[in-house]
Amino acid sequence: MTSLFPEEFADIELVAGPWAIDADDERYSSRLAAGHEELQRFHDAVFPTAPRILDYCRAFDLRNAPAEVRALLNVLYSLISVSAILESGLSLAGSRRQTTAVGKRRTAMTGRRSHPTAESSTIE
């Protein structure tokens, strides 16, 4: 079986692999579809590993990063979204309303719905 992540992160792949979603709107939909236990399991597995992931990704030019590095970055984007809900104490239903309102405001202000692409991003 082909690994989604670099070997150094094989320990989180089973839980984090499904969250390595490239598109912002798909990450959002996955978060809405997941139950609280699944979100907590993902958070608990990935949060302690986040500093290692960042350190690993900093070694790459993100415009030309391999797919496994982009997958790790997408897991971090998912972690940010999931952490915001879990750590705020909001209910999942409340987060759906709040996130939808924020997304509409962001789209109205910027004219776009997703994060900048890897072509225009760097980690400093």
Read off the pLDDT of residues 65-97 as tens digits, 9 standing for 90 and up.
999 999 999 999 999 999 988 988 765 555 554
Compute the mean pLDDT over every residue in the chain, rounded to the nearest whole number: 81
The CB-based long-range contact list for 27-36 (8 Å cut-off, 24+ gap) reads 27/74, 27/77, 27/78, 27/81, 28/81, 28/99, 28/103, 30/78, 31/78, 31/81, 31/82, 31/85, 32/92, 32/96, 35/92, 36/92
Query: Across residues 25-33, what is the average pLDDT?
Result: 91
Highest mean pLDDT of the ranges 87-91, 104-108, 114-118 = 87-91
Q: Are 109 and 56 in contact (CB under 8 A)?
A: no
- Average pLDDT rounded to a whole number, residues 108-119: 50
With 70 as the cut, is the pLDDT of residue 33 above it? yes
